């Protein structure tokens, strides 16, 4: 341990406390209480345990730090500034201001050193599980003396995190997998916004985590030796994740706010700041004070951290020299390397093949793993009936691994019935940077995952969400399992690219676009029922799918109506168009596998699909309101404005009007009315 006097330690801890207090006071809003109570614990983690290089925030060998109770963001910002990250004192003074590097909650990509966006409570906790899993998988595939994957994930979580259901799901999975490289400190301050936790929370958290298979320790937040011993013990426990239950005092040092809910989510106020500084022996002025001896000590520690990083990099170079193939494979994952002819590889032989798009998805994913082995993932206990499936010959992650195999060397992850945690754990894997994660379940259960999907889009990370049973046509399971409004609601999330492919070719090209794309998640909505392959009579190239929409079939004459359809309804539109032509109504069919990509195309291209003055009928076995942008005010949304029913899918098609005859009749009426 670094030699540090009790007096200097106290000044460093108070520096962290009062940088937080002053920033919140300057902003007029924020959460000062948790940083004040956690200063000792957080400083010990950062100073004595966390491996990082502030000059290289994305250094792949770094330990990760997750502040799951993200409202305590000034704790993290203070530490980042003090330890030399590109976060100036001026940035701290601009806490919560427009365009600052110090937003109200930590935002990935906005602030150097922030590993994950932690706003919704429990999300960061689950992301940390994913990061720890990714590290274990990296070590299993590529590790060795000096190799990658040996890093730890340290985190802090609070009562709110552990009340949220997602943390229970994620903790259960972490214990099952035995993630011994994961260490969380539970800030047991017994206070929430509304008052003491006893109002709503009386469980024994330690016993809960012991039941999950965690290594549980206790260390009062003001007992340095206890905190130090607990962190050391957690680090040496390699077979279980560790939870350190740490009783702290929210608003530590505040005479009138300490230990009270008022310390949680509002500035202390000028008078209470004065009293608190006096109580802790801190100068009233200047604000944002960093004493010289504190700066001197931290400068030495920054230099030591950089020296340790340089030594680790030298060991990594030696590993590269000794393990060239492994090093190249590791680099390929981190660089998202893909063959130039990926589209052709994935689409080969799928033209003209009738299958559910979920089965096409399995074929495509198997091919993809051959050229991009850094993809990993699984489903929420639905591998037998939904995509993504368990891929044969690719190994199981966790206790299901074959005898003699490293339990973290496989591709297939059994997430169990934990949809919300599955999404957040997958996001954590993406944030780690080596693997490209995919995960999936039925589309209806995207409701359970929506916060994780939204955060993937907000962070701009490359998680792949694969949903099947994408419409009422899954059949007999009934309206509880039949998505109706889900495609619209998912398309509404900024920076989420939603594909609903119509056949094998579109499925292959959707996957190809998603894995080539970086900077945001992709989503696939795939069918349970078999779909007839499209007969593309209009000119077509594979990459037309990436335009978001293209003409599948056209008439010899100028169209009098355009049928724009997605997924399983594209073939329906083709059959209806044939009937319309027999009635003397030339009809064009446009497949729209990805609405957002279509809206990014040049106006001339969109007009070539949807000529001015020609009515558009948008067809989707769901609400379809997001397609109104194509239909316009004079067009028709041919969708479903109710929940589904329990029946065989053919009966549902007739009941809801999704047969060629019913669609053609309705379109014919619409066209004739439009022309009058």
Q: What is the mean pLDDT of residues 39-44?
A: 98
Beta carbons of 260 and 251 less than 8 angstroms apart: yes
Q: What is the mean pLDDT of residues 496-525?
A: 98
Q: Are residues 516 and 573 in the same domain?
A: no
Whole-angstrom distance, CA of residue 565 vs CA of residue 562: 10
532 occurs within a structural domain:
no
pLDDT given for residue 404 in this prediction:
82
Name, in order, each residue with C-beta under 8 angstroms of 440's C-beta and a sequence gap of 6 or more.
Answer: 377, 379, 380, 382, 386, 387, 388, 465, 466, 467, 468, 524
Nearest CA to 610 out of 537, 673, 675, 551 is that of 551
Q: Are residues 450 and 571 in the same domain?
A: no
Q: Where residue 578 sits, what CATH number does that domain have?
A: 3.40.50.920
**With 80 as the cut, is the pLDDT of residue 270 above it?**
yes
Q: Are residues 211 and 300 in the same domain?
A: yes
Q: What is the mean pLDDT of residues 320-337?
A: 96
Interval 465-504: pLDDT, tens: 999 999 999 999 999 999 999 999 999 999 999 999 999 9
271 occurs within a structural domain:
yes
- 564, β-bridge pairs: 590, 618
Interval 621-658: pLDDT, tens: 999 999 999 999 889 999 999 999 999 999 999 999 99
3-state secondary structure 311-350: HHHHHHHHHHHHCHHHHHHHHHHHHCCCCCCHHHHHHCCC
When computed from its CA atoms, the radius of gyration of the chain, rounded to whole angstroms, is 28
CB atoms within 10 A of CB 199: 10
Share of the chain above pLDDT 90, in %: 93
Nearest CA to 19 out of 372, 313, 311, 289 is that of 289
- Among 307, 327, 350, where does a domain finish? 307
**With 70 as the cut, is the pLDDT of residue 665 above it?**
yes
Q: Are residues 236 and 121 in the same domain?
A: yes
Whole-angstrom distance, CA of residue 89 vs CA of residue 77: 10
Q: Where residue 87 sits, what CATH number does that domain have?
A: 3.40.50.970
333 occurs within a structural domain:
no
Q: Are residues 478 and 444 in the same domain?
A: yes
Interval 528-559: pLDDT, tens: 999 999 999 999 999 999 999 999 999 999 99
294 occurs within a structural domain:
yes
638 occurs within a structural domain:
yes
424 occurs within a structural domain:
yes
Q: Where are the beta strands (DSSP E) in 317-435?
A: 375-379, 396-397, 412-413
pLDDT given for residue 178 in this prediction:
97
User: In 3-state terms, what secondary structure has residue 66?
Assistant: strand
- Among 473, 493, 525, where does a domain finish? 525
pLDDT given for residue 547 in this prediction:
98
349 Rama class: left (phi>0) / alpha (psi -120 to 50) / beta: left
Average pLDDT over the chain, rounded to whole? 96
Q: Are residues 571 and 611 in the same domain?
A: yes
Share of the chain above pLDDT 70, in %: 99
Interval 567-584: pLDDT, tens: 999 999 999 999 999 999
Catalytic entry in 25, 419, 569, 620: 419
State yes or no: is 272 an active-site residue.
no
Task: Report how far Cα 506 is from the mean position of its chain's Cα atoms.
Answer: 25
pLDDT given for residue 614 in this prediction:
96
188 occurs within a structural domain:
yes
pLDDT category at 388 given cuts 50, 70, 90 is confident
Q: Are residues 515 and 554 in the same domain?
A: no
457 occurs within a structural domain:
yes
The sign one gets for the Cα dihedral 459, 465, 471, 477 is negative
In the chain, the number of structural domains is: 3
Q: Are residues 520 and 552 in the same domain?
A: no
**With 90 as the cut, is the pLDDT of residue 64 above it?**
yes
Q: Are residues 556 and 649 in the same domain?
A: yes
Q: Are residues 371 and 520 in the same domain?
A: yes
**With 80 as the cut, is the pLDDT of residue 595 above it?**
yes
- 562, β-bridge pairs: 588, 616
3-state secondary structure 470-533: CCHHHCCCCCCCCCCCHHHHHHCCCCCEEECCCCHHHHHHHHHHHHHCCCCCEEEECCCCCECC
The sign one gets for the Cα dihedral 645, 647, 649, 651 is negative
Task: Report how far Cα 228 is from the mean position of its chain's Cα atoms.
Answer: 32
Q: Are residues 88 and 206 in the same domain?
A: yes
Q: What is the mean pLDDT of residues 445-464?
A: 97
Q: Are residues 358 and 296 in the same domain?
A: no
User: The tokens 């030298």 sit on which residue?
Assistant: 314
Range of 642's domain?
Answer: 548-675
**With 70 as the cut, is the pLDDT of residue 2 above it?**
no
Interval 128-152: pLDDT, tens: 999 999 999 999 999 888 999 999 9
Range in 53-62, 89-98, 191-200 with the lowest mean pLDDT: 191-200
**With 70 as the cut, is the pLDDT of residue 254 above it?**
yes
């Amino acid at each position: 341990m670094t030699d540090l006097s009790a007096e200097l330690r106290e000044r460093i801890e108070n520096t962290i406390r009062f940088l937080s207090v002053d920033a919140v006071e300057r902003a007029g809003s924020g959460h000062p209480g948790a940083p004040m109570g956690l200063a000792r614990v957080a400083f010990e983690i950062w100073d004595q345990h966390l491996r990082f290089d502030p000059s290289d925030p994305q250094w792949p060998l770094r330990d990760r730090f997750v502040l799951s109770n993200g409202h305590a963001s000034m704790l993290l910002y203070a530490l980042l500034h003090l330890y030399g990250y590109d976060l100036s004192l001026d940035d701290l003074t601009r806490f919560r201001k427009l365009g600052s590097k110090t937003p109200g909650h930590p935002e990935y990509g906005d602030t150097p050193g922030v590993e994950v966006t932690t706003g919704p409570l429990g999300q960061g906790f689950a992301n940390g599980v994913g990061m720890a899993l990714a590290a274990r998988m990296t070590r299993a595939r590529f590790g060795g003396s000096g190799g990658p994957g040996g890093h730890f994930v340290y985190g802090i979580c609070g009562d709110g995190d552990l009340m949220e259901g997602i943390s229970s799901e994620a903790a259960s999975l972490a214990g099952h997998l035995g993630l011994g490289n994961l260490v969380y400190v539970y800030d047991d301050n017994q206070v929430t916004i509304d008052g003491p936790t006893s109002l709503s929370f009386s469980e024994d958290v330690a016993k809960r985590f012991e039941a999950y298979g965690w290594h549980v320790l206790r260390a009062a937040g003001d007992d340095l030796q206890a905190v130090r011993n607990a962190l050391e013990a957690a680090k040496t426990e390699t077979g279980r994740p560790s939870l350190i239950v740490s009783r702290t005092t929210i608003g530590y040092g505040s005479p009138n706010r300490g230990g009270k809910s008022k310390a949680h989510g509002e500035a202390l106020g000028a008078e209470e700041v004065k009293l608190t500084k006096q109580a802790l022996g801190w100068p009233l002025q200047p604000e944002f004070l960093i004493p010289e001896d504190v700066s001197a000590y931290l400068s030495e520690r920054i230099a030591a951290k950089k020296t340790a990083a340089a030594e680790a990099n030298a060991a990594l170079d030696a590993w590269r020299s000794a393990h060239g193939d492994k090093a190249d494979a590791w680099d390929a994952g981190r660089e998202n390397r893909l063959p130039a002819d990926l589209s052709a590889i994935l689409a080969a032989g799928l033209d003209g093949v009738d299958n559910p798009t979920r089965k096409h998805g399995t074929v495509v994913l198997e091919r993809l793993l051959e050229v991009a082995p850094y993809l990993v993932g699984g489903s929420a206990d639905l591998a037998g009936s939904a995509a993504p499936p368990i891929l044969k010959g690719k190994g199981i992650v966790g206790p299901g691994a074959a005898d003699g195999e490293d339990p973290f060397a496989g591709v297939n992850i059994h997430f169990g019935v934990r949809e919300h945690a599955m999404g957040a754990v997958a996001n954590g894997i993406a944030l780690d940077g080596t693997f490209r994660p995919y995960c999936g379940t039925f589309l209806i259960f995207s409701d359970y995952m929506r916060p994780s999907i939204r955060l993937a889009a907000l962070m701009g990370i490359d998680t792949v969400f694969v949903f099947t049973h994408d419409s009422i046509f899954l059949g007999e399971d009934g309206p509880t399992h039949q998505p109706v409004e889900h495609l619209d609601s998912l398309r509404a999330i900024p920076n989420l690219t939603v594909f609903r492919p119509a056949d094998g070719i579109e499925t292959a090209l959707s996957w190809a676009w998603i894995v080539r794309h970086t900077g945001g998640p992709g989503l696939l909505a795939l069918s349970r029922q078999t779909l007839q392959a499209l007969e593309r009579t209009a000119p077509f190239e594979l990459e037309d799918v990436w335009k978001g929409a293209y003409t599948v079939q056209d008439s010899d004459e100028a169209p009098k109506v355009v049928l724009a359809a997605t997924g399983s309804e594209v073939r329906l539109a083709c059959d209806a168009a044939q009937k319309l032509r027999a009635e003397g109504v030339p009809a064009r069919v446009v497949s729209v596998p990805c609405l957002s990509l279509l809206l990014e195309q040049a106006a001339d291209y969109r007009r070539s699909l949807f000529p001015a003055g020609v009515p558009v009928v948008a067809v989707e076995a769901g609400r379809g309101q997001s397609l109104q942008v194509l239909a316009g005010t004079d067009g028709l949304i041919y969708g479903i404005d109710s929940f589904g029913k329990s029946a065989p899918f053919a009966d549902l098609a007739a009941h809801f009007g999704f047969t060629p005859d019913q669609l053609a009749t309705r379109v014919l009426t619409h066209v004739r009315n439009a022309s009058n």
